[in-house]
Amino acid sequence: MINYSKSKEQAEKVAAKCKDALLVQADVSDDAQCRKLARAALDKWGRIDALVNNAGTTKFVKHADLDGLSADDFLRIYSLNVVGPFQMTRACAPALKAAKGAIVNVSSVASLLGTGSSIAYAASKSALNSMTYSLARVLGPEVRVNAVCPGYVDTPWQHNALGMAGANKAAEHYSAMVPLKDYARPEDLAETIAWLIEGARQVTGETIFVDGGLHIQPPR
């Protein structure tokens, strides 16, 4: 099942690459819509084997600009980046337990380093990591819960947010910083998420960094 909030066209492109896909539009910050998503999956397939909490948002504000973020900004970012994954987990938990499934939360290296697009974003991803640990503890042994923490990833979202020139500059700057001298592509994240779902039998409560080694790079 593929959930989308705005771009049905993009969701349809992804669905076209899948053998059997169900498209559902929902806002995961709304609990009723999260339950609608879970019910749609159960109605079609009768089970839920995996949940990937990939929805997220941010606001680009330099970290030194404390006046650039309002309480409403924090609440909006947390509602999607933290509350949304919790509500989706709660909605899918009974079916995931029955299937002995897995959950993967998409976090960020900003959760560890306090970097990224804004303080609110970094804080929300730290909260998501903490929630990953708690959920792994309470949903075991039936359900494994892990998080992946990417650094810079070359995606259309980055191009839209920064512009093509800005995204290319950010990718070059990132590659120069990290030990592997490269940045991630969507496929790199997809492979890690697939491994955490289909393999990783003894892995739960982990945060897996897919960042070219940024999280171990000494500060400059």
Distance of CA 62 to the CA centre of its chain: 22
Residue 20's pLDDT is 87
What stretches in the chain show pLDDT beneath 50? none
Residue 84's pLDDT is 98
If you ran DSSP here, which 8-state letter would residue 81 be given? I
Contact 8, 23 (CB under 8 A): yes
Q: For 183, what's the count of Cα atoms within 13 Å in the CB-facing half-sphere?
A: 18
| Inside any domain, residue 34 | no
Contact 47, 98 (CB under 8 A): yes
- State the CATH number of the domain containing residue 54: 3.40.50.720
Q: How long, in residues, is the chain?
A: 220
| Inside any domain, residue 94 | yes
Domains held by the chain: number: 1
Strand segments (E) across 39-193: 50-53, 102-106, 144-150
Q: Which of 147, 146, 169, 149 is nearest to 158 (CA)?
A: 169
68-87 pLDDT, tens digit per residue, is 999 999 999 999 999 999 99
- The 3-state DSSP class for residue 214 equals helix
- CA-CA distance, 109 to 127, in Å (whole number)? 13
- The 3-state DSSP class for residue 196 equals helix
Residue 168's pLDDT is 86
180-193 pLDDT, tens digit per residue, is 999 999 999 999 99
Active site residue 78: no
Contact 121, 59 (CB under 8 A): yes
Which among 4, 78, 121, 183 is annotated as catalytic?
A: 121
- CA-CA distance, 192 to 88, in Å (whole number)? 21
Residue 93's pLDDT is 98
Residue 167's pLDDT is 83
Domain of residue 107 covers 50-216
Phi/psi at 4 (nearest 5 deg)? -140, 150
5 C-beta neighbours (distance < 10 Å), count: 15
| Inside any domain, residue 207 | yes
Residue 7's pLDDT is 77
- CA-CA distance, 191 to 82, in Å (whole number)? 23
| Inside any domain, residue 17 | no
Residue 220's pLDDT is 54
- CA-CA distance, 167 to 103, in Å (whole number)? 30
pTM above 0.85, yes or no: yes
| Inside any domain, residue 87 | yes
| Inside any domain, residue 18 | no
| Inside any domain, residue 28 | no
| Inside any domain, residue 41 | no
Contact 68, 120 (CB under 8 A): no
